[in-house]
Amino acid sequence: MLVRLLLFVVLCIALAWAWRGVQRSRRARRIESHTTETVRCAQCALHVPRSAAIRAEQHWFCTPGHRDQYLESH
């Protein structure tokens, strides 16, 4: 009887541990799906989403004005 109780407790602990692992991986995937890659503007150092940034000559910019200023000075 004591052996059955011990096995039951060990089984419950193993199931709880597995459940927590599944929940952690779901939470991690959810966080990863909401992150957006950002790039740094070469003129003002502001970080902007890559999808909204402007690229010119290996550099990223937050606005066309900053792109123009940077290219004129370099």
For residue 61, give Cα distances in angstroms to 3, 33, 37, 67, 72. Answer: 68, 25, 14, 6, 14
Half-sphere exposure of 5 toward its Cβ, with a 13 Å CA cutoff?
A: 2
Q: pTM above the 0.75 mark?
A: no
Reference 46, options 70, 62, 66; nearest CA is 62
pLDDT digits over 20-63, tens only? 988 888 777 776 666 789 999 999 999 999 999 999 999 999 99
> Which segments of 8-72 are extended strands (E)?
38-40, 47-49, 54-56, 59-61
